[in-house]
A and B are shown apart, each in its own frame.
Chain A
């Protein structure tokens, strides 16, 4: 899922300092699961924004709502139900949601309520770790299912580097060296021969270095 975290409250208070009515809009997708932008977080942020406004000696009206998703046109259209009731939207969805509101609602002012962090999973309660970089050219079949692009600090395709010590990364000592883990896993699963394969120079054009990416599925388009 996409991992996000709420922006510092003062930053959001500053964004809405010029408006009187705010629609605080959550998303029931990834940001609900990682407790950054679901219903509960919408309630908390709306309260904090009202408190922030009180401290500035003014009143802020808030509408609290959560859409099923903010990354689909049909759900964004649901914002119509609050038409005329807000001066700005604070979206607690990931950056995709903020962009979709901006794309589809040309007259709406929209601000981000969260910082979108990475693609990750829940390693433990309250802890999320990056697992995928969305690079567009998956090599997990060669690396035992462990991603060197997202999980190696240097995104090496042939590792480990010389800085791997005791199975730990030289960049962050608390982070396991993913290349050590890849080798250990390939060994454990009887795929030792894969360790000697030299990965070719990678084509990064699918990783977004050539501008925004787009995917078209002819079997789904109408």
Chain B
């Protein structure tokens, strides 16, 4: 049975410049999964654990967080903080018996680049392999 996952992308102002410049139509031409929605943040360090969990509550099957390279964050420590929060969510998902791999942190260069699209495609493909989120009636593998 085909399954189209609900992918939520949280990305910082700087790593989403491509998304903003091209618009959704342009991204689609680049191969950006149409089932992924982008929420742009001033900095990935602004992303709270509760916001990520809310995404899962709202039906996300996978969550992709994109921030600056570890030691090159525009706001110094923002992407490192985001990575720590992603790990906290992973741990909590595992404790609930749900695959922690449903969330991933990507550290990508700022500006225009194909890696942004690839990161979301990677998370999309991984999530398709896992199936629907157990919070949405799926079964953890």
A8 to chain B, nearest CB (A): 5
How many residues does chain A have at the interface if contact means C-beta atoms less than 8 Å apart? Answer: 15
How many residue pairs, one in A and one in B, have C-beta atoms under 8 Å apart?
Answer: 38
How far is A40 from B51 in the complex, measured between Cα atoms in Å? 11
A47 with B135: CB separation less than 8 A: no
B116 within 8 A of A: no
B89 to chain A, nearest CB (A): 9
- B-chain residues with CB within 8 Å of residue A9 when the two chains form the complex: 92, 95-96
B96 with A55: CB separation less than 8 A: yes
One digit per residue, 1 when the CB lies within 8 angstroms of any chain B CB and 0 when it does not, for chain A 66-101 equals 000000000000000000000000000000000000
B97 within 8 A of A: yes
B69 within 8 A of A: no
- Shortest Cβ distance from B49 into A: residue: A44
B54 within 8 A of A: yes
Question: A52 is contacted by which of B49, B50, B96, B137 (Cβ under 8 Å)?
Answer: B96
How far is A10 from B136 in the complex, measured between Cα atoms in Å? 18
B28 to chain A, nearest CB (A): 31
- A-chain residues with CB within 8 Å of residue B98 when the two chains form the complex: 55
B56 with A51: CB separation less than 8 A: yes
B57 with A51: CB separation less than 8 A: yes
One digit per residue, 1 when the CB lies within 8 angstroms of any chain B CB and 0 when it does not, for chain A 190-210 equals 000000000000000000000
A40 with B96: CB separation less than 8 A: no
Interface bracket on B:
10 to 19
Question: A47 is contacted by which of B53, B97, B134, B136 (Cβ under 8 Å)?
Answer: B53
B92 to chain A, nearest CB (A): 5
B54 with A47: CB separation less than 8 A: yes
Question: B50 is contacted by which of A8, A44, A54, A57 (Cβ under 8 Å)?
Answer: A44
A61 within 8 A of B: no
A40 with B57: CB separation less than 8 A: no
Chain B, 23-51, CB within 8 A of any chain A CB: 48-50
Chain B, 80-132, CB within 8 A of any chain A CB: 92, 95-98
A47 with B95: CB separation less than 8 A: no
- B-chain residues with CB within 8 Å of residue A185 when the two chains form the complex: none
- Shortest Cβ distance from A11 into B: residue: B95
4 A-B pairs with the lowest CB-CB distances in the bound complex, closest first: A47-B53, A9-B95, A54-B135, A43-B50
